[in-house]
A and B are shown apart, each in its own frame.
Chain A
Amino acid sequence: MPEKGWKELPIGGKILDAGNSIEYETGSWRTFRPVVDKKKCINCLRCWLLCPDSSIFVEDEKVMGYDYAYCKGCGICAEMCPVDAIEMVLETEKDTVEADERGIKVVQEEDPETG
């Protein structure tokens, strides 16, 4: 955000743009990143409810991964998950887990013939 002088700022230090904190990304605070295994996930949405940074995407009542721009990596979601579908991976070792950019684990489809 560009710096403003006192003449340009609203009187009383008011912030006129509600919810503009989204311009400030807190994802760089993260040491561990959550990764979800959708095969285990039961979409109970407990992680979504208990995420302090509102960083879990929910579409059509289903967990659709993480907003890594804001996720601070606290690990509450992994701790509170009733089916242990969420894994916390060290940021420096994130390449060891195959996951898409939203943190959904990529599971190799098993070939029914070679099995």
Chain B
Amino acid sequence: MAIKLKELSHKKDLLAPGHRCCAGCGSILSVKEVMMAVDGPVVVSFATGCLEVATTIFPYTAWRVPYIHCAFENSASVMSGVEAAYQSLKKQGKIDKEIKFIAFGGDGGTYDIGLQALSGAMERGHDMLYVCYDNEAYMNTGIQRSSSTPRAAATSTSPAGTVLPGKTQFRKDLTKIMAAHGIPYVAQATPDRWRDLISKVKKALEIKGPKFINILSSCFRGWRCAPEKSIEVTKLAVQTRFWPLYEVEYGKWKLNYKPKEYVPIEEWLKTQRRFQHVLKPENKPLLEEIQKNVDQRWEELLQLCGESSPEVTPGN
């Protein structure tokens, strides 16, 4: 059934206003859309990060659902403990409610610091959903690079200067790593494509077992773009195939969106000042290298999804 905004508008917002996120924060939008997909009781845990700090500044909380604050690395293990306790209480007949469990984490808490805890929780098969809001650096502590930061992005620990043009490595593909765990559901989404995102969360919550969703969420402070553009940039990330929308359900790969024409990655890089040095004429080889990497990852994904490459010229 198609999701309609008009129907969703009757539901009570599970996130209250008055939180201290920046004006134009992209990550709270991802989380807001995830919470819109939830019906019935839910328990949320949050790894340390921008959103955890901004939504729960003591003595206030923006959450209207039970929420557990945890350390940087253990959002997944805290939630697996909660889920295990719930299963035990259910077995003992002390609880009969159907409760959903969602663990959130930023890219620092998921790609780097919490990867071990996340991998463990997924392997143990807890009935929970892990959502990563990926804003591609440690934004909370002042824009340090993470393993999710794209190649050539300027951050405070990988600045663009005369010696190095920003981050020297390519980003880690965590969604594929999670798919390799063989868990029932893995997906990638953006808040711009809200219908896709909400239906993915709804689908994930229906499935029993561990689930993982990776959401590209812009951070206008770290990406160096205007606050009102924070949704627009995620849209371009999908169109340039930097962030393909796909899902892996019980090992079956499915591409959710195939752009009609291939927009060069340059168009996405142009929107953010963290990449401005890449667009200089002397850095043309770097730009070509980035485009090549995007094309290569896209081709790999098409093969996994059993799709053929359409007849368009990739890149320029």
Contacts and interface: CB of A to CB of B under 8 A. Distances in A.
Interface of A: 1, 4, 9, 13, 15, 17-26, 29-30, 44-46, 48-50, 52-55, 58, 61, 67, 69-70, 72-76, 78-80
B23 A52 contact: yes
A24 B229 contact: no
15 contacts: A15-B61, A18-B61, A19-B62, A20-B60, A21-B16, A25-B18, A45-B6, A46-B5, A49-B33, A67-B17, A74-B23, A76-B230, A79-B229, A79-B231, A79-B232
B28 interface: yes
A35 to B, nearest CB: 15
Contacts, number: 115
Contacts of B13: 54
A45 B5 contact: yes
B25 interface: yes
In this complex, the member of A17, A73, A75 whose beta carbon has the largest number of chain B beta carbons within 10 angstroms is A75
- Which secondary structure dominates where chain B touches chain A? loop
Interface residues of B, number: 42
Nearest to A77: B228
B214 to A, nearest CB: 20
Interface in B1-46: 5-6, 8-10, 13, 15-26, 28-29, 32-33
B21 A21 contact: no
Nearest to A48: B9
B24 A75 contact: yes
Nearest to B61: A15
